[in-house]
Structure 1
Amino acid sequence: MAGHHHELHEGDSLKDAAREQLIEHGEQWTKMREAVFEALAGFKRPASAYDVAEAVSKAEGRRVAANSVYRILDLFVGANLATRVESANAYIANQHPGCVHDCIFLICDGCGTTTHIDNDRLSSGVREAAENEGFAPSRPIIEVHGKCGECA
């Protein structure tokens, strides 16, 4: 499988990498943005804005509106801290926020687990096909639904 190397982050390393990336993007790392990112990173599968709002509300001990979370999640997508999983209307934290590349998601219809893989050869083919049609792709995202190894 063709791919490229990038550093995967977890835990505090992921939060630190996300903070650095957001600041490089020209934005501030606020307490609320940190809480939303921590909640999102805590999910093992894509989470909706409502899921994240509920998790932040529990952690903060006060109600947090989903509208506020949506705005922050959109900011995170723009800064490469998160990716939107379109078919699930949900988001997943980017474990390598300093690396911008096309996304290929394997989404289990059984348990909801979403695995991100890199295959530059496949995504290059998608880009080339789009360009052959006179389309200028900005960032292909491919979603493959099926069953993970545990659910199959």
Structure 2
Amino acid sequence: MHAHDHHGHKHHEPEGADLARAAQAALEKAGEQWTSMRASIFDALASFDKPASAYDIAEAVSKAEGRRVAANSVYRILDLFVSANLARRVESANAYVANAHPNCLHDCIFLVCDSCGQTTHIDDDSITKTVRTAAREAGFQPIRPVIEVRGKCADCN
């Protein structure tokens, strides 16, 4: 385990080929194949600097591959990525972001800018632990909290 404090820690964020390798390893560990289609969709997802919809990703893959890729097949693969922890779904935007550390299970807090759509993701396990505890006390079995904060980012302020 790497040492880090639990308040909004920053790891080195893997990018490009490293990120794709980490994603492939995580998907195969989940018992799934890393097909060329899945690789293309992951690369497209990882290339966006803000959450991308299935349509955005279908467009990007279609351009890159020179063939039509349907948003429906992209949706299915994105759902698979989310369940294998390779991607996160920003519920309120119906969009997806690549998970920069697919082998860490963190509860995410997304800061979503209403003006430019830029989404920052922070991990603060102390906040999400409180949310889990509150849910448990209400008799709810939480699997994973997804917390979204809407507002204006520093750039738009």
Shift of 1:3: 4.5
Aligned with residue 60 of structure 1, among 53, 62, 65? 65
Aligned with residue 101 of structure 1, among 101, 106, 129? 106
Aligned with residue 150 of structure 2, among 123, 126, 145? 145
Task: Tell whether the 8 Å contact from 1:7 to 1:96 is kept in structure 2 after alignment.
Answer: no
Aligned with residue 44 of structure 1, among 39, 43, 49? 49
The letter for the 2-side match of 1:38 is D
Deviations 1:2-33 (A, max 9, x none): 25675521111101100111011100100000
- What is the match of residue 3 of structure 2? none
The letter for the 1-side match of 2:57 is V
Task: Tell me the SS of whatever aligns to 1:56.
Answer: helix
Aligned with residue 32 of structure 1, among 12, 33, 37? 37
Shift of 1:138: 0.5
CA distance in 1, matches of 2:40, 2:17: 13
* Segments ≥4 residues shifted beyond 6 Å: none
Task: Tell whether the 8 Å contact from 1:6 to 1:99 is kept in structure 2 after alignment.
Answer: no
Cα 1:151/1:3, change in 2 over 3 Å: closer
Q: How many residues align?
A: 152
- Identity %, equivalent residues: 66
Gaps of 5+ in 1: none
Q: TM-score, with normalisation over the residues of structure 1?
A: 0.96
Shift of 1:100: 1.0
Task: Tell whether the 8 Å contact from 1:4 to 1:120 is kept in structure 2 after alignment.
Answer: no
Cα 1:4/1:148, change in 2 over 3 Å: closer
Aligned with residue 90 of structure 1, among 71, 88, 95? 95
Task: Tell whether the 8 Å contact from 1:46 to 1:85 is kept in structure 2 after alignment.
Answer: yes
The letter for the 2-side match of 1:141 is V
